[in-house]
């Protein structure tokens, strides 16, 4: 729900137009228990902590203005509470969506920091809500949570994003460029989604150039169908690093079943990452039970496990369980 902060009538004297500023956000926090087992060493480590499982605590200040002639300008400035552990709370805008843009009959043009198209497609076609503990982005983001520059699949700054005008009902096509000023180097992205009735399909591809001699290409595909009594979801990923001779791949299958205000999400994931020395194959599952206390507040319970089936860490497992609250405003 968005709350209006200020209505600025700076142009009212000449055009009668008003620029409106709003505030919106979402707070997500869970108590999470994680158990990591090192198979070769025969050791088990357990940790319990608090923090975000989904989007974290974010605050958005945004606005839009009718420029006339079918044009609309808008902006968003995003802050995020990244850490909620003990007495520490860190707030910054370094990790959330911030942009300025204009749209009209020509389409939509935005500049700023956005989630990558890979991340957006993976999150859309996820039966369990794409939590931090999920393996959905094992390939596009990096196996076992690796966040190396060549693998990062989430927020990208220095980005120019263009959405084509709608030519076919239900089809959305985007093109984006991450400029060389980004710490991740030049990156070009294309994405498309198509929705018709209960059916939805999505695709995104990303090619980044971290150096003059290195290129990395990643793809994410997604399909879903809402039968009413349940929603079936499938997604797949691939990654080809120019420094590796083989491609990395991953697949996800899931279903989300609603029971009134409660929904159950089940997702199974498997991946093969020969370019990664430690974990070349693995699989796991994620379960999510979500109960809506209201339109804005939900209780979310999760559990899941990952097991490495090939590579240096063969036999290692990582299991988690979490219970938290999610409130939007």
Tell me if 83 is assigned to some domain.
no
The CB-side HSE value for 252 (13 A sphere, CA atoms) comes to 37
Tell me if 96 is assigned to some domain.
no
Number of C-beta neighbours around residue 226 at 10 A = 15
For tokens 């959905």, the residue is 136
Per-residue pLDDT 10s for the chain (329 aa) are 455 444 343 434 444 455 678 998 888 888 889 898 998 888 898 888 877 776 666 788 999 999 999 999 999 988 875 544 333 344 444 568 889 999 999 999 999 988 888 888 888 899 987 766 666 656 665 433 333 333 444 677 888 999 999 889 999 999 999 886 655 567 889 999 999 999 999 999 988 877 777 788 889 999 999 999 999 999 999 888 787 777 888 899 999 999 999 999 999 989 888 877 777 888 989 999 999 999 999 999 999 898 888 888 888 888 989 998 988 88
**What distance separates the 2 farthest-apart alpha carbons in the chain?**
75
Tell me if 147 sits within 8 A of 154, measured CB to CB.
no
Q: How many structural domains is the chain composed of?
A: 1
Does the pTM surpass 0.85? The reply is no
The CB-side HSE value for 71 (13 A sphere, CA atoms) comes to 8
Tell me if 124 is assigned to some domain.
yes
Tell me if 21 is assigned to some domain.
no
Domain that holds residue 265: 33-53+108-328
Cα–Cα distance between 192 and 115 in angstroms, integer? 15
Ranges of H-type helices in the chain: 117-124
55, 54, 62, 56: which is closest to 19 by C-alpha?
62
Listing DSSP states for 92-145 in one string gives ESTTS-EEEEEEETTEEEEEEEEE-HHHHHHHHT-TT---TT--TTTTTT-GGG
Cα–Cα distance between 201 and 197 in angstroms, integer? 11
Cα–Cα distance between 245 and 135 in angstroms, integer? 24
Cα–Cα distance between 258 and 246 in angstroms, integer? 40
Tell me if 15 is assigned to some domain.
no
H or E element that contains 88 = strand 88-92
Strand partners, 188: 177, 207
* Burial of 150 (C-beta count, 10 Å sphere; 0-12/13-18/19+): buried
Cα–Cα distance between 256 and 127 in angstroms, integer? 5
- The set of residues, in sequence order, having a beta carbon less than 8 Å from that of 249 and lying 6+ positions away, is 139, 236, 237, 238, 239, 271, 272
Tell me if 277 is assigned to some domain.
yes
Tell me if 99 is assigned to some domain.
no
Tell me if 78 is assigned to some domain.
no
Q: What is the CATH number of the domain that holds 282?
A: 2.40.160.10
Distance of CA 243 to the CA centre of its chain: 26
């Amino acid at each position: 729900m968005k709350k209006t902060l200020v209505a600025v009538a700076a142009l009212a004297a000449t055009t009668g137009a008003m620029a409106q500023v709003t505030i919106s956000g979402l707070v997500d926090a869970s108590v999470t228990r994680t158990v990591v087992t090192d198979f070769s060493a025969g050791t088990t480590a357990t940790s319990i902590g608090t923090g975000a499982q989904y989007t974290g605590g974010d605050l958005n200040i945004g606005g839009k203005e009718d420029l006339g002639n079918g044009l609309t300008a808008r902006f968003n400035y995003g802050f995020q509470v990244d850490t909620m552990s003990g007495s520490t709370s860190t707030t910054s805008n370094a990790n959330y969506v911030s942009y300025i843009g204009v749209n009209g009959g020509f389409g939509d043009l935005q500049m700023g920091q956005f989630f990558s198209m890979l991340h957006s497609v993976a999150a859309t076609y996820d039966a369990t809500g794409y939590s931090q503990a999920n393996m959905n982005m094992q390939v596009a983001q990096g196996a076992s949570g690796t966040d190396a520059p060549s693998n990062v699949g989430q927020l990208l700054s220095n980005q120019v994003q263009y959405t084509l005008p709608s030519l076919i009902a239900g089809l959305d096509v985007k093109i984006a460029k991450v400029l060389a000023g980004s710490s991740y180097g030049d990156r070009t992205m294309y994405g498309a989604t198509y929705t018709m009735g209960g059916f939805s399909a999505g695709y995104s591809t990303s090619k980044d150039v971290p150096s003059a001699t290195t290129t990395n290409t990643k793809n994410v595909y997604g399909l879903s169908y809402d039968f009413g009594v349940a929603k079936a979801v499938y997604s797949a990923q691939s990654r080809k690093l120019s420094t590796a001779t083989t491609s990395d791949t991953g697949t996800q299958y899931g279903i989300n079943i609603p029971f009134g205000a409660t929904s159950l999400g089940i997702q199974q994931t498997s991946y093969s990452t020969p370019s990664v020395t430690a974990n070349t194959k693995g699989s796991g599952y994620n379960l999510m039970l979500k109960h809506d206390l209201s339109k804005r507040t939900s209780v979310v319970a999760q559990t899941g496990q990952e097991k490495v089936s090939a590579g240096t860490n063969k036999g290692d497992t990582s299991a988690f369980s979490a219970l938290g609250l999610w409130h939007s405003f």
